Structure 1
Amino acid sequence: MIKTTVYLTEEIEVRLDAEAAATGVSKAELIRRGIAMLLDASDRPKLDGPLPIFDSGRSRSAEEMNDAVYDHIKTRSSRR
């Protein structure tokens, strides 16, 4: 797991404490479940399927692929 910090309002903190005490589930687990519910209900397209396969007509070495990815990232970050 990855640790992150979340700032909560006082009201949400009190309600979260009460829910954790009533259910015996940790606050961290309740937060994880809430986030999962939000993401599962999202209308955004999910990237569950396999990625499309692209055939450029020639194969590249791992080094060429790394260079191409690096150049692409550098180009995109310079546009921001």
Structure 2
Amino acid sequence: MIKTTVYLPAELEVRLDAEASATGTSKAELIRQAIAQLLDNSTRPRNARSLPVFNSGRQRSAETMDEEIYDHIKQQSARR
């Protein structure tokens, strides 16, 4: 989990304390639940499309690709 700080007005802090005491749930858990509910019920358009995946059929390491790019640049420079 990632820690974050939230500033609450005194009235909300009192209400949150009361809810936590009444339900036996920590304030942090109540805040997480409220945020999850807000995001789950959001009507904001979601990006449902996934990114395209390309498989060239060849597996090359980053070092191999770097060498190929370097060689290509070297060949292009030699032609000038």
TM over 0.5: yes
Distance 2:39 2:14 in 1: 24
Residues 27-50 of structure 1: per-residue CA shift (max 9 Å, x gap): 000000000011111011234x56
Distance 1:54 1:21 in 2: 49
The unaligned stretches of length 5 or more in structure 1 are 65-80
Distance 1:26 1:18 in 2: 11
CA RMSD of aligned residues (A): 2.5
Q: Which amino acid aligns with 2:41?
A: A
The unaligned stretches of length 5 or more in structure 2 are 66-80
Count of residues in correspondence between the two structures: 61
Distance 2:31 2:13 in 1: 11
Query: Which residue does 1:45 correspond to in 2?
Result: 45
Query: Which residue does 1:3 correspond to in 2?
Result: 3
Q: So what's the TM-score if we normalise by structure 1?
A: 0.62
Greater Cα radius of gyration, structure 1 or 2: 2
Alignment of 1:1-80 (within 5 A): 1-47=1-47, 49=48, 51-53=50-52, 62=62
Moved beyond 3 Å, runs of 4+? 61-64
TM-superposed deviation, 1:51: 1.5
Q: So what's the TM-score if we normalise by structure 2?
A: 0.62
Q: Which amino acid aligns with 1:8?
A: L
